[in-house]
Amino acid sequence: MTASTIAMPLFVKAQTPRPVVETASLPTSPSDADAEARRLAAAVRQGDEVAFRQLYDRYHARLLRFALVLGRGDELLAGDTVQSVFVTAAAKLRRVESEEHLWNWLAQVARQQLAKAWRRRRESAVVSVADLPECLDAVEPDSVLEEHLGAALLAMEPDERQLVEWFYFDSLSHKDIAERLETTPKAVSARLERARAKLRSAITRSLSHEA
C-alpha cells in the first residue's frame, strides 16, 4: 500500500470542526481499546479510508500536543510533523498488538520526523544552533512531555488558553472562533499570534526548569 491509496485529511487551520465521535463507538475497557487498535491498524494497512479517518480523528490532537512540546512550541513544525506521521501511517503502518503499541509507533514516527526537521534546520542555519535540542532520541517519556504542555497551558491566561485549545486541538478556524467570541477573524488572528508566543515561551520555561 502506498500513501496515495488513502485520501489524507489535510492538516489545515481553516478546516471545519470534525464530527464528534459518538461515545458508544469508543472503547470502554483496555481490552476493547486494544482490539480497536488492532482493527484500525489492519484496516489502514488494507487502504480503508474510513479507518484512516478514524485513526486521524482519534490521535491527531494527542500527536499535536506531543509534537508541540518536542518542537518547543513551534506550531508550524508541530503541524508539519503530525501531517508527516499520518502520511507515514498510510504507507507503513503494520500489525500492532495493543493501543499502547499503536500510540508508541505513532509517537516514534513523530520523533523521527522532528529529528529530521531539526537536522535540516541545522544544515540550513534557519535558527540558532543553541535553540535546537541535542538529541530527540533521549527525550522524556510521553506522559512527562504532556505534563510540560499542561503546565505551559496553565501558565497562560484562561482566554488565551481557550484560543489555543479551540484552534489547535478542536481544529476551529479563525472564522469559527470569531463567531463564538462575537468578533472578527482578523482580531482572532492577532490574539492567536500573541497566545502562540506565550505558549512557546511557557513550554521553553517548563523544559528549562525540568533540566
6-44 pLDDT, tens digit per residue, is 555 544 333 333 433 333 345 557 788 899 999 999 999
Q: Tell me the C-alpha distance between 70 and 107, whole Å.
A: 11
Q: Tell me the C-alpha distance between 83 and 132, whole Å.
A: 21
- Helices and strands: H and E segment counts in the chain: 8, 0
Q: What pLDDT is attached to residue 78? A: 87
Q: What pLDDT is attached to residue 5? A: 53
Q: Tell me the C-alpha distance between 112 and 116, whole Å.
A: 6
C-alpha cell at 26: 469508543
Alpha carbon separation from 188 to 150, 160, 177 (Å, rounded):
23, 10, 7
Annotation: CATH topology of 30-132: Rna Polymerase Sigma Factor; Chain: A (1.10.1740)
Q: Are 6 and 90 in contact (CB under 8 A)?
A: yes
Q: What pLDDT is attached to residue 22? A: 37
**What 3-state class would DSSP assign to 155?**
coil
pLDDT digits (tens, 9 = 90+) for 185-205: 999 989 988 887 887 777 777
Among candidates 161, 126, 145, 170, which has minimal Cα distance to 72?
145
pLDDT digits (tens, 9 = 90+) for 88-104: 999 999 889 999 999 99
Domains of the chain, by residue range, sit at 30-132, 140-211
pLDDT band of 151, cuts 50, 70, 90:
confident
C-alpha cell at 126: 534557519
Annotation: CATH topology of 140-211: Arc Repressor Mutant, subunit A (1.10.10)
Q: What pLDDT is attached to residue 65? A: 84
Alpha carbon separation from 175 to 28, 129, 206 (Å, rounded):
35, 37, 32
